[in-house]
A and B are shown apart, each in its own frame.
Chain A
Amino acid sequence: MQVSLTLNGRPRTFSVEEHHTLLDALRDDLGLTGAKECCLVGECGACTVRLNDRIVDSCLVLAVEADGGDIVTVEGLAPEPGRMSALQSAFLEKGAVQCGFCIPGQLLAGDDILRRFEHPTRHDIEEGIAGNLCRCACYYQIVEAVEAAAHGRAREEAQLVESAVVREMPPHVVDQ
């Protein structure tokens, strides 16, 4: 069956077997191996992607179900090529990355937490990544990374608010 969807911001059309999952399609047909295969029963979260603004286990979604959908994978988290998102940087800084295999899924889950909570608590984060197993068990560091990214965002927004205030100054005032 032909499937058309938006993948990391780009429209893609491809042909896929009806019984193949979105995970299969991403890895085998669309050239994106960031989402990983592990348990294939929706327990480990290694295959997590965002589908229409919600994170899902892509091993439990048929590729054909995603027709017309908007998908974001780990490859689409960077704001632009060569740069990392604040969350990705925080993961590295906080030591949340060991073997790395669960990390694409953790990043999608972390990104989802940041979208759902303005100021996520530790408990919010632990619950938000509860569907992502990490055998290296860097859970504490992953939680810290998401927290750090949330704080960083809060600081950034505070700065944006400040400069907005400046912009409201009358036009004849010149910056020194």
Chain B
Amino acid sequence: MRAFSYARPGTLDEAVALLEEFGSDARVLAGGTDLIIRLRDRTLTPRVVVDIKRIPELAPSIELIDRVLRISAGTTMTDVLGDVIVRRSFPALAEAASIIGSVQIRNRATLVGNQTNASPAADTAPTLLIYGAVLVLVGARGERRVALDDFFVRSGVTTLEPGELVTAIEIPMPSTAQGSAFTRRTRRRGHDLASVTLAASVGRDGSTRLAYGSLGPRPLVFSSVGGSEPPLEAWFADMRPSPTSMRASPEYRSAMLRVLANRALATARARLEAGA
């Protein structure tokens, strides 16, 4: 890979200052499982790589504060899938985190990083979307919050502004009983990039939320209130599977979206019943 400078700020302010100064010539390094690959194949050629893992506020942590589960930027997939609250209240997130890559990858890949890369196939994105996750961003102008649904623009592009970094993800605890599930389609059982990712939740109040990814430039989320069947076909109509993808053809993806949606909704309903 092309040489770069490595910076290891010890405070959030230092990190923000570096990002302000270098703009698009800087890249944040957390887990590295995506960044290092892109540095090696030169799809990214930053002048500075900013390692945020020594910043105390960003150290791995999962905390419940005022009915909001706050997951810091340094928290890895291994941390997430093992957390008791995640497993109990956000099982789709635990499921997604547990099938990303391998143990080696999960020990480094961060939940926040899986969002900031804005890969349409990011496994955890659909789950965070159905749970209504919010990102906490910090920049020179201070802190702001952005709903995850407003964060993704398209592949590789988010609404993160220059000089900003994500410090945490906040997931509101469910206000009503719900059941949720995650599923995806891959080419083999071993770890793989998905050709369809999907998360669904059903609430005791009859509401349904469904999100899918890897079917267009960004993951999409849909919701319906209780009292009627969710308009799945209308939701699926927004998919834009890539015609040139090596992983799966558009016809297969389209068919699998429907299969996975049915399965995830069935599992979600079963979990709702079981939890009742």
In the complex, whether A48 has a CB less than 8 A from a CB of chain B is yes
Please determine whether A59 and B36 come into contact, CB atoms closer than 8 angstroms: yes
- Which of A26-34, A50-58, A165-173 interfaces with chain B? A50-58
Given contact pairs A19-B39, A59-B36, A60-B32, A42 touches B6 in the complex (Cβ within 8 A): no
Residue from B3, B29, B33, B40 within 8 A of A65 (CB atoms): B29
In the complex, whether A130 has a CB less than 8 A from a CB of chain B is yes
Q: Which residues of the other chain, B, contact A57 by a CB distance below 8 angstroms?
A: 33, 102, 104-105, 108
B27-38 interface mask toward A, CB cutoff 8 Å, 1 = contact, 0 = none? 001001100110
Please determine whether B104 and A55 come into contact, CB atoms closer than 8 angstroms: yes
Please determine whether A112 and B1 come into contact, CB atoms closer than 8 angstroms: no
Please determine whether A65 and B191 come into contact, CB atoms closer than 8 angstroms: no
Given contact pairs A54-B107, A62-B32, A19 touches B101 in the complex (Cβ within 8 A): no
Please determine whether B104 and A64 come into contact, CB atoms closer than 8 angstroms: no
In the complex, whether A174 has a CB less than 8 A from a CB of chain B is no
In the complex, whether A109 has a CB less than 8 A from a CB of chain B is yes
Q: Which residues of the other chain, B, contact A130 by a CB distance below 8 angstroms?
A: 102-103, 190-191
Residue from A42, A45, A128 within 8 A of B37 (CB atoms): A42
Given contact pairs A17-B3, A18-B6, A65-B53, A55 touches B103 in the complex (Cβ within 8 A): yes
Residue from A19, A56, A59, A132 within 8 A of B107 (CB atoms): A56
B1-39 residues with Cβ-Cβ distance < 8 A to A are: 1-6, 8, 29, 32-33, 36-37, 39
Given contact pairs A19-B2, A60-B37, A65 touches B51 in the complex (Cβ within 8 A): yes
Q: Which residues of the other chain, A, contact B102 by a CB distance below 8 angstroms?
A: 42, 45, 57, 130-132
A50-86 residues with Cβ-Cβ distance < 8 A to B are: 54-57, 59-62, 64-65, 67
When C-beta atoms are compared, the residue in chain A nearest to B191 turns out to be: A130
In the complex, whether A99 has a CB less than 8 A from a CB of chain B is no
Please determine whether A131 and B6 come into contact, CB atoms closer than 8 angstroms: no
In the complex, whether A21 has a CB less than 8 A from a CB of chain B is yes
In the complex, whether B124 has a CB less than 8 A from a CB of chain A is no
Please determine whether B6 and A21 come into contact, CB atoms closer than 8 angstroms: no
CB distance from A142 to the nearest CB of B (A): 14
Q: How large is the interface on B (under 10, 10 to 19, 20 to 34, 35 or more residues)?
A: 20 to 34
Q: Which residues of the other chain, B, contact A61 by a CB distance below 8 angstroms?
A: 32, 36, 108
In the complex, whether B119 has a CB less than 8 A from a CB of chain A is no
B78-98 interface mask toward A, CB cutoff 8 Å, 1 = contact, 0 = none? 100000000000000000000
In the complex, whether A41 has a CB less than 8 A from a CB of chain B is yes
In the complex, whether A1 has a CB less than 8 A from a CB of chain B is yes
When C-beta atoms are compared, the residue in chain B nearest to A43 turns out to be: B191
Please determine whether A41 and B37 come into contact, CB atoms closer than 8 angstroms: yes
In the complex, whether A40 has a CB less than 8 A from a CB of chain B is yes
CB distance from B149 to the nearest CB of A (A): 29
Q: Which residues of the other chain, A, contact B78 by a CB distance below 8 angstroms?
A: 54
- Knowing that A55-B103, A61-B36, A131-B104 touch, tell me 4 more A-B residue pairs with CB under 8 angstroms: A57-B104, A61-B108, A67-B8, A128-B103
B: residues with CB less than 8 A from A are 1-6, 8, 29, 32-33, 36-37, 39-40, 49, 51, 53, 78, 101-105, 107-108, 190-191
A: residues with CB less than 8 A from B are 1, 17-19, 21, 40-43, 45, 48, 54-57, 59-62, 64-65, 67, 109, 112, 127-128, 130-132
